[in-house]
Amino acid sequence: MPHPSKAVARRTRHERIRRKIAGTPQRPRLVIHRSLHHIYAALVDDERGHTLVAVSTREKTFGQDASRTNLEAAKAVGAAIAAKAKAAGYARIVFDRAGYKYHGRVRALADAAREAGLEF
């Protein structure tokens, strides 16, 4: 049997992770999505099915000239999601790496969110 594509393998890992973790109103889930050109982060309350706060490099605040694919952009998104989460009253979250390796941009985003005051 041929190996699944990278996307299928990541989706399988994400489903396996999601069986174990879920966001609640008191402790929402910080889910990330990493594409070739952008990185996205959102706080989700899975009980109600609502996105509480979201940040991405596609927002105008990140500017057009700045690179949106590197570690600095991921750190900026991590700090921004933490600031928005704290402003909305969320300090403790559950981190969902969405099947991506905890490495590179994913780790940079998580570390920046932690440094900005989110607990996970």
Domains and CATH numbers, the chain: 6-115 (3.30.420.100)
Q: Say whether pLDDT at 40 is over 80.
A: yes
| Three-class DSSP labels, 72-96 | HHHHHHHHHHHHHHHHCCCCECEEE
Confidence (pTM) = 0.90
Alpha helices per DSSP H over 1-120 = 6-18, 71-87, 105-115
Comparing C-alpha atoms, which of 96, 77, 65 is closest to residue 39?
Answer: 77
Q: Give tens-digit pLDDT for 1-34.
A: 778 899 999 999 999 999 999 999 999 999 999 9
Counted residue by residue, the chain has a size of: 120
